[in-house]
Amino acid sequence: MKIIMLGAPGAGKGTQAKMIAEKFAIPHISTGDIFRANIKNGTELGMEAKKYMDQGLLVPDELTVKILLDRVAQKDCTDGYVLDGFPRTIPQAQVLDKALTELGDHIDYAINVDVPDENIINRMSGRRACVTCGATYHIEHIPPQKEGICDKCNAELILRDDDKPETVKNRLDVYHKQTQPLIEFYSEKEVLRTVDGTQDMQNVFAAIVEILK
């Protein structure tokens, strides 16, 4: 099963994608996580991506598309995957569509996690992320057992550089201009399903599982 997560920054794409990946035993592929791992390791790609990410802008399609196509061509992706944060522009969606069509394949579902802008800023300022294993928490809604420490791997949790309120505003603007048009794109392909992302995370997950089963 090939699934795309759509939604504003902070809508809960990553939170839900990890749960889907576990339940359906498919890889969770987040372009944001791939960039953050590269930044942490000081790679050339990471340094380039950071320039855009810190401003809340999208990393150029030329850099992003290749990474994603290489990743989905790996062996563990044959039975499917859940994409989180890709595609994010119409050109990215077209490239993915073309690559899949050439393989006689297609996306099964594009799940749009719908959360209004008003709810987003609070979620982002409370988010804490583990750069080592990618787990995410929220200081009020989903706190780790020990403050500032990842439950899964014991590494230190951070506030992402791009989660500062002024950057979140830019990311929301970029989302509305460049990413939201994908809702129409996947609706025309009849694979779009929308869930109410303002519910608690277990209820959002139950709504997604209902769609996927």
Please state, in angstroms and rounded to a whole number, the distance separating the CA atoms of residues 153 and 45. Answer: 26
- Please tell me whether residue 14 binds Mg ion under the rule CB under 5 A: yes
**Min. distance of Cβ 25 from ligand AP5 in angstroms?**
20
Please state, in angstroms and rounded to a whole number, the distance separating the CA atoms of residues 18 and 173. Answer: 26
CB closer to Mg ion out of 34 and 213 = 34
Residue 145: Cβ-neighbour burial (10 angstroms; 0-12, 13-18, 19+):
exposed
- Please tell me whether residue 144 binds ligand AP5 under the rule CB under 6 A: no
CB–CB of 190/82 below 8 Å? no
- Please tell me whether residue 142 binds ligand AP5 under the rule CB under 6 A: yes
Provide the mask over 105-134, with x wherever binding to ligand AP5 is found by CB under 6 A and - wherever it is not.
------------------x--xx-------
First CA to last CA distance, the chain: 10
> Of the candidates 37, 46, 50, 52, which one interacts with ligand AP5 according to CB under 6 A?
52
Considering Cα of 171, then 173, then 179, then 183, what sign does the dihedral take? positive
- Please tell me whether residue 138 binds ligand AP5 under the rule CB under 6 A: yes
**Min. distance of Cβ 117 from ligand AP5 in angstroms?**
13
Query: Which residues does the annotation mark as catalytic?
Result: 13, 88, 127, 160, 171
Which residues lie near Mg ion (CB under 5 A)?
14
